[in-house]
Amino acid sequence: MAYRYDPDLEFLEKIDSVDLNDLVSCLTHDKDGSARLTEELTGTELFKKHHPDHHQYWELIAAEIQCFGANTFVTLFRGGKGVEYREILIDVCDKMKVNYNKDSSVEVIENNLLLKVLKDALDKMPADELRKLAESVGMKNIHLFTPESMLGVFQAVFRAGGFKSYQLTLVIVNAILKAMIGRGLSFAGNAALTRSVAVLTGPIGWAITGAWTAVDIASAAYRVTIPAVIQIAALRQKHLYGRQADDISFS
């Protein structure tokens, strides 16, 4: 296993070890907590020496993601370098039937993936739940609570970036992961960030269950790459929001 330089994963170098816990757990353990037979990370000398200080071997974490992605593409040389993250993300989006522009940045494509999940959830939510969801993430003066209008609002939130985009990402990712792997993000415990999780968990869980069943049958590698991509999207938003907050504090 060797890391292929990947501009879309380089930000992991800036992520604290504690925030990498969920991603490492996803790569090394199944949903039931048993060790993955195909993972290589825990057998490396750096992992054995520094675990759980994940920051010390972030490149190996990235390499493991790339190699699981290579499995998805039926790459013959499992022990070598995998594929770049963009290719993995696009493969996941194709599997989940996400509408995206392949020339967009990975951040935009990740947001399209999350919006697809959110759209499926919104379509199942009655008007009173849509209203609660809007209020829980601080949206006011919304007079027409329909899935279409709400999705438009959330698209605008993602485009604007900042705290609201970060909050919405964590809420969606937390609910998705609970539905997929039985546990949410450990760094999403801040009540100000996740107070709308209770509103979203049910609908997103229903939307994911059907899609997850089909994906699960298709390939075991997707059991890793889909939740890994979802978690990387959350880590990226956390990183971007942190940089924005630092820029404001020093301006």
Which tens digits make up the pLDDT trace of 133-189?
777 666 666 666 677 877 887 888 888 877 778 877 887 787 778 777 777 777 655
CB 18 within 8 Å of CB 32: no
CA distance 156 to 158: 5
CA distance 208 to 116: 10
Residue 154 tokens, joined: 């959330």
Which tens digits make up the pLDDT trace of 6-51?
999 999 999 999 999 999 999 999 888 899 888 899 999 999 999 9
Q: Which pTM value belongs to this model?
A: 0.83
pLDDT value of residue 124: 76
Residue with tokens 């792997």: 181
Mean per-residue pLDDT over the chain, rounded: 80
CA distance 24 to 83: 18
Q: Which helix (H) or strand (E) holds 59?
A: helix 58-72
CA distance 178 to 99: 24
For residues 69-90, average pLDDT: 71
Categorize the per-residue pLDDT at 201 as very low, low, confident or very high, splitting at 50, 70 and 90: low
